[in-house]
Structure 1
Amino acid sequence: MKSEDIPFEGGPMDGRVLSVALGPTGHPPKTYRIPVPDPDGGPATVLVYRRVPRGHSRRLGLIQGWKYLHDPDDSSGGGLRWPWSKPAGAPGAARTATPDDAGPDDANE
């Protein structure tokens, strides 16, 4: 499996470089979660880092590499997002049909 040395910025991992396994597309994961055990035996704290471009080429604007930035308030929820799914905050995302909704055939009754 291929891996790449990727720098981390911000948070407790600031300035460190870790070897991160690449996915089937040749890119590192979009989020990198690091569980940190509690010294008192409590629940582990999870550090979340987001993948961002390290830089772009001048001529074509291609991404030169990746780095991870610390994301203290992780809003992704950690679940998978499919391309055909509605956004989590969309107004009609959790709407269900109610008896008050009139369909086109119900209008003439």
Structure 2
Amino acid sequence: MRSEAVRFLGGPLDGRELPVLVGATGKPPARYEVPVPAERPEGDAPDVVHVYLLEPAGHTPRLGLPKGWVYRYAPDEPPAAGPRWPWRNRPAGGERPAGGPAHDG
């Protein structure tokens, strides 16, 4: 797989440039989540997940194509609930659609 060095802005990774795997189109994933374990495993403190959202670093003058990518820290963004499978017909929040079946089968 191909990777690309992407700069991080804000949060605990501010100013770092890390290699991120890119897809077939050469674009990194839209979200980058950094899990940080609790300081004391025996305590009641939950693990913290820092969320970064992908933004274009700049645009070319003529065509407006992205010049590169930057991950910007999003402190108010909740972590992802899990993968979204294409055969599941549910909204992002996990609620059931109105008028839909009552079972997953």
Q: Same fold (TM over 0.5)?
A: yes
Contact 2:91–2:97, Cα closer than 8 Å, also in 1: no
Aligned to 1:104: none
Unpaired segments of 5 or more residues in structure 2?
Answer: 101-105
> What TM-score, normalized by structure 1, do the two folds share?
0.70
1:70-85 aligned at under 5 Å gives the runs: 70-75=73-78, 77-78=80-81, 79-80=83-84
Aligned to 1:12: 12
SS at match of 2:29: coil
Deviation at 1:24, TM superposition (A): 2.4
Corresponding letter in the other structure for 1:22: V
Distance 2:84 2:38 in 1: 27
Aligned with 2:68 (options 38, 60, 65): 65
Identity %, equivalent residues: 43
Q: Deviations over 1:1-32 (max 9, x none)?
A: 11111000011111111111112222111100
The structure having more radius of gyration, on CA atoms, is 1
| Cα RMSD after superposing both structures | 2.4
Q: Is the aligned partner of 1:31 residue 2:34?
A: no
The 1:23/1:38 distance shift into structure 2, 3 A limit, reads same
| Equivalent residue pairs, number | 92
Unpaired segments of 5 or more residues in structure 1?
Answer: 98-109
Question: Which 4+ residue blocks in structure 1 deviate beyond 4 angstroms?
Answer: 85-89
